[in-house]
Structure 1
Amino acid sequence: MPRALWVTAAGEVALLDAPLPPRADGQLRLRMLASGISRGTERLVLHHRVPESQYAVMRAPLQLGDFGGPVAYGYCGVAMVEEGALSGRRVFVLAPHQEALVAPAHFCTPLPDALPTHRAVLGANMETALNIMWDARPLAGERALVIGAGVVGLLAAFLLARFPGVQVTVVDPDASRAAIARALGADFRAPAEAPADQELIIHASATEAGLNLALSRAGFEARLIEASWFGAARPALPLGEAFHQKRLQIISTQVGSVSPAMRGRRTHGERMALALDLLRDDRLDGLLEPPIAFADLPRHYAALLERPALCPLVTYPETTA
């Protein structure tokens, strides 16, 4: 019987059975090849820090169980279709860390042939970064600051660097992120060296300090795109001082809804297909941590979520690149 990684209690995980239902019309039977760990969100789930008011909103499409009780959570899976309309194709699927599953076909997006399986686990993160771009609406020649060199922040910097004349600076206290930021086309600075008078700021550090830094470095009429999710935390913000004089904007962005800039013109499926296509760049392999076998995941899971890793990669038996 296939297994999944279950959060059995706050801070505790185990590999438990995840029985497969019979496959119905319009569904696919999938064998997992690889999955990625989304450290920020999965850390909140592991420690039962998802606010009850957000249980429905934060529920993953193919989540098993419920928040507050045993739950198998995740949304960064790459699988082989073994039965169904896309049989023999690799797909990205918004599924937990589990060996096999049955999923509606509309939750599965075929991978471009040239996209390696392991890099494709970044699909959900790239979809988030793409939605951030649609909410941010970068302009040619802008000075852009990305605060937080996690996976989403670095992917946002990667996309911003493709806009003509945009000067992108990534800010993070972890100097080890400098090389990957520069490889993706951005400058890198420590927080104390973050440049001022920035016209577009993407905040992706999920810290109060990072959000305050973003406000302090904003130029006149700057747009601050809040891409972090704080869970139940309530960061304090200096909304006095120069906030009003500078006419600053704080704009929330969240991948659950297609950005208003493209809503009605792109579906969720089209957005994911574009995100996967944007991953066809070998430099993005630098966002992946060394692989961990699914069977060993319970021993490493909590530590992975706490240390400053990028995207931990989980591999499954018979994984192919």
Structure 2
Amino acid sequence: MSRALWYDGRGGVEVRSEMAAGRSGDDALVRTLFSGVSRGTERLVSQGRIPESEWGRMRAPRQQGDFPGPVKYGYAAVGIVEDGPSELRGRAVFCLNPHESAFVAPISALHLLPEGMPPRRATLAANMETALNALWDSGAGPCDRAVVVGGGVVGLLSAWLLGRLPGVEVTLVDADDRRRGVAEALGATFALPRDTPHDADVVLHASASAAGLATALSAAGEEATVVELSWHGSDDVAVPLGRAFHARRLKLVSSQVGQVAPSRRPRWSARRRLAAALALLAADDRHDLLLDVSVPFEDAPSVLPALFEPGAEGLGIVLDYV
């Protein structure tokens, strides 16, 4: 038996008991330790705000149910292989899989954690993939002035990645001053929107708000690129294309993790990118600062709806099955 989290598409969350799928010779049985909640995407899923045009593209691996709901969703599970090839048994793995206490997945879908990596931190792997893809899409290089607008998990990971490039100056902009400490701990300068620097070479926007996008465009220098990481589901968002947008010849580029960035696609597979994301997370203990909300799995129905509300406190949400 397994316990699985389902979103009803009307804001409700339920945990159901169900039989785990049968295992074949190409599969492994995994007992989940932790799973990461993607606050932005899963808020939209829980509220039934995935546009019908995107129902196919937004399906998670091994998702059950159909949009707008009920659906068993999620894509950041970390667990221990309980049954499978001898070389995997007892090993900690990451898998793109919904939130459930145990699951069967193809061996090819499992990613061994780097030696010594805390399993809880590995729940950030999908977020790090998103940040890495955005960095590739931005074309950022050494000694650039970079601005990241939006101090959520993806924005902070993006700022950390940019700061690892030689000579890059990174400013993290957020309306919530509580993000200052984490941003500075990860090596970025923090600024409130009113203090946003201008003439940036590269700008990444990850606030999922129209005001944040306007701030990102205002930060961009002449002919600079603004990379949009936010996804708004079925919502329409005002984009300020007046003022100096055309005169400064700005570029607004979408970045989405479903495909490897075009600049790397001929050489990089999604599996190679995920392995790189795990290695990056393993290399710096400061990433644990992003996982500041722990929720016992069985409490998810009563806790998650409040955490999905606008302005809810906390950064990274982890469901704890231990």
**TM-score where L is the length of structure 2:** 0.96
1:117 Cα offset (Å)? 0.8
Please name the residue that 1:285 is paired with: 288
Amino acid at match of 1:2: S
* Aligned residue number for residue 69 of structure 1: 69
Q: How far is 1:25 from its partner? A: 2.4
- 2:111 is the alignment partner of 1:109: yes
Is this contact kept in 1: 2:228–2:253, CA < 8 A? yes
Contact 2:11-2:47 at 8 Å conserved across structures: yes
1:47 and 1:6 map into 2 onto residues whose CA distance is 12
Alignment match, 1:256: 258
Aligned equivalent of 2:317, options 300, 312, 315: 312
Task: Please report how far the alpha carbon of residue 240 of structure 1 lies from its aligned counterpart in structure 2 after TM superposition.
Answer: 2.5
Q: Which amino acid aligns with 1:18?
A: E
**Residue 187 of structure 1: CA displacement?**
0.2
Q: Distance in 2 between matches of 1:228 and 1:9?
A: 21
- Name the counterpart of 2:299: 296
> Which ranges in structure 1 are unaligned for 5 or more consecutive residues?
none
**2:172 corresponds to 1:170:** yes
Shifted more, 49-58 versus 87-96: the winner is: 87-96
CA distance in 2, matches of 1:33, 1:190: 37
> In the alignment, what sits opposite 2:163?
161
Partner SS for 2:231: coil
Long gaps (5+) in structure 2? none
1:14 equivalent in structure 2: 14
Deviation at 1:134, TM superposition (A): 1.2
Do structure 1's residue 189 and structure 2's residue 188 form an aligned pair? no
Alpha-carbon distance in structure 2 between the residues aligned to 1:43 and 1:266: 30
Find the aligned partners of 2:116 and 2:209 in 1 and give their Cα distance: 36
Q: Partners of 2:68 and 2:239 in 1: how far apart?
A: 30
For 2:116 and 2:297, the matched residues in 1 are separated by 25
CA deviation string 1:93-140 (max 9, x = no partner): 111111001111222111001210111110110111111111112111
Aligned-pair Cα RMSD in Å = 1.1
Deviating runs (4+, > 4 A) in structure 1?
Answer: none
TM-score by length of 1: 0.96
Shift, 1:171, TM fit: 0.4
- Contact persistence 2:42–2:74 (CA under 8 A): yes
User: SS in structure 1 opposite 2:256?
Assistant: coil
Q: Give the CA deviation at 1:273.
A: 0.5
Cα deviations by residue, 1:191-236 (Å, 9 ceiling, x for unpaired): 1110111110000001011111111121101110011101111111
Counterpart secondary structure, 1:153: helix
Residue 182 of structure 2 is aligned with which of 160, 167, 180?
180
Report the Cα offset of residue 278 of structure 1.
0.2
Report the 3-state secondary structure (helix = DSSP H, G, I; strand = E; otherwise coil) of the residue aligned with 2:161.
Answer: helix
**Residue 90 of structure 1 pairs with residue 95 of structure 2:** no
Asked if structure 1 preserves the Cα contact closer than 8 Å seen for 2:293 and 2:314, the reply is no
Identity within the alignment, %: 50
* Residues 219-260 of structure 1, C-alpha deviations (whole Å, 9 max, x = no match): 101110011101111111121221111111111110000011
Residues 139-198 of structure 1: CA deviation (Å, up to 9, x unaligned): 111110000000000000000000011110000011011011011110000011101111
Residue type at the aligned position of 1:37: V
Paired residue type of 1:4: A
CA distance in 2, matches of 1:312, 1:101: 21
- Say if 2:33 is the partner of 1:51: no
Which secondary structure does the structure 2 equivalent of 1:124 belong to?
Answer: helix
Helix, strand or coil at the partner of 1:170: strand
**What letter corresponds to residue 233 of structure 1 in structure 2?**
D
Task: Report how far residue 22 of structure 1 moved.
Answer: 1.1
| Partner secondary structure for residue 120 of structure 1 | helix
Residue pair 2:9, 2:45 contacting (<8 A) in 1 also: no
Deviation at 1:8, TM superposition (A): 2.7
How far off is 1:9 after superposition? 4.4
